[in-house]
Amino acid sequence: MAPERPRPPVGPIASVLANLRRAPHRVRRQGRDVLESAVAQLFDAAVRHPPGAEVSGEYRIDDLARIAGTTTRNIRVYRDRGLLPPPVRIGRIAVFNDTHLTRLRLITSMLDRGYNIAHVHEMLSAWEEGKNLGDVLGLETALIGTWAAEKPATMTRADADRLVDDPKAFDRLVERQLLRVENDTVTVMRPKLIEAFNEIRTYGIGYDTLIDLHEQVVPHIDEISRLLVQAGAEHVGAYIKPGEGLPADTEVAELITMLVRFRTQAVASVTATLAASIESTIEALVSRILADFIEKPADSESG
């Protein structure tokens, strides 16, 4: 039996669900498009307006941790490292405010992006000195989040040809639906991926190699995603069962919010593990290169 949970007010999430309930015939008639649109709206609403995240301006540490989606232990670590200013003391009670909440969300976002605490400290210091952190991190996104990791970018065919200045690679990207061409307009489905390709190309690695690598990596990433999401699916399955009615909208909203946070933490954990693995592999590669470099002169001298 699933444990009982609180049922907080939901606002925007409830509105999306209510619209779906009011238009069942439209949903059945238009099918997948309507559902896909509703799913996108639900997850965006869950990110921007999580249940229980109504701000009051003053928070105890437990409330601050819950609203920001972190732990009281993390908050104490950030305070000790100088990332968060000290709270106001009212007797023996520590009280935090919206400034702490905004800063905490920014810290969490930067850590999720793979920065370590030292880097976060440097960038927060730069922000406090008036430098434009928004240009570096996308401050609005860092504070309020978004569901989709990437939003497609639409441009003219001429701009797309300049972005991908290799006709053969352009066609391969279209075949793999990373680019979609419609008349004189091109939609780049994965702008960050294409940006990464172009940056790596400056070191002399060709598009064909990069696309081949992408094709080899994607199945492994999909398998990692399947394993991670399965854990969330099993949790959701305790509340939403095939053939049974949906639970109350507030419970559906809470489950969606849980999946949003699950996605954030899963990405953070995989990113950290992948970064550590790549660093270790690169260090081993450089060690082998240096070892060969050192040994070859010795071999030539002995000959």
Q: Sorting pLDDT into bands at 50, 70 and 90, what band is 267? A: confident
Please report whether residue 166 resides in a domain: yes
Non-local CB neighbours of 59 within 8 Å, separated by 6+ positions? 67, 95, 96, 97, 100, 101
> Do residues 137 and 159 share a domain?
no
Please report whether residue 7 resides in a domain: yes
CA distance readout (Å), 271 to 118, 196, 206, 233, 279: 18, 16, 25, 21, 12
Please report whether residue 82 resides in a domain: yes
Mean pLDDT along residues 262-282 = 82
Q: Sorting pLDDT into bands at 50, 70 and 90, what band is 1? A: very low
> Do residues 139 and 63 share a domain?
yes
* DSSP-assigned states of every residue in 83-110: SSPPPEEETTEEEEEHHHHHHHHHHHHH
Element (H, E) at 43: helix 32-48
Q: Sorting pLDDT into bands at 50, 70 and 90, what band is 154? A: very high
Radius of gyration of the chain (CA): 24
* Rounded Cα gap, residues 14 and 38, in angstroms: 12
Confirm if 150 and 190 have CB atoms less than 8 A apart.
yes
Count of domains observed in the chain = 3
> Do residues 47 and 64 share a domain?
no
Say yes or no to pLDDT of 186 above 90.
Answer: yes
> Do residues 177 and 197 share a domain?
yes
Please report whether residue 180 resides in a domain: yes
* Rounded Cα gap, residues 131 and 84, in angstroms: 18
> Do residues 222 and 243 share a domain?
no
Say yes or no to pLDDT of 258 above 80.
Answer: no
pLDDT digits 0-9 by tens, 170-185: 999 999 999 999 989 9
> Considering 197, 229, 261, which residue would you say is the last residue of a domain?
229
> Do residues 125 and 153 share a domain?
no
Is the pLDDT higher at 137 or at 116?
116
Question: pLDDT exceeding 70 applies to what percent of the chain?
Answer: 64
> Considering 144, 177, 192, which residue would you say is the last residue of a domain?
144
> Do residues 116 and 178 share a domain?
no
Structural domain boundaries, residue 109: 58-144
pLDDT of residue 2: 46
Confirm if 48 and 145 have CB atoms less than 8 A apart.
yes
Lowest-confidence pick of 16-30, 99-113, 241-255: 16-30
* Rounded Cα gap, residues 70 and 77, in angstroms: 12
> Do residues 135 and 166 share a domain?
no
Say yes or no to pLDDT of 8 above 50.
Answer: no
pLDDT of residue 109: 75
pLDDT digits 0-9 by tens, 189-224: 999 899 999 999 998 999 999 999 999 999 998 998
> Do residues 140 and 169 share a domain?
no
pLDDT of residue 167: 94
> Considering 177, 197, 229, which residue would you say is the last residue of a domain?
229
Element (H, E) at 117: helix 117-128
pLDDT of residue 262: 75
Across the chain, mean pLDDT equals 76
Residue/partner pairs of 98-105 with CB below 8 Å, 24 or more apart: 98/55, 98/57, 100/59, 100/64, 101/55, 101/59, 101/64, 101/67, 101/68, 102/143, 104/64, 104/68, 104/70, 104/75, 104/78, 105/68, 105/142, 105/143, 105/144
Please report whether residue 234 resides in a domain: no
Number of residues that this document lists for the chain:
303
Q: What are φ and ψ of residue 90, in 5° steps?
A: -115, 95
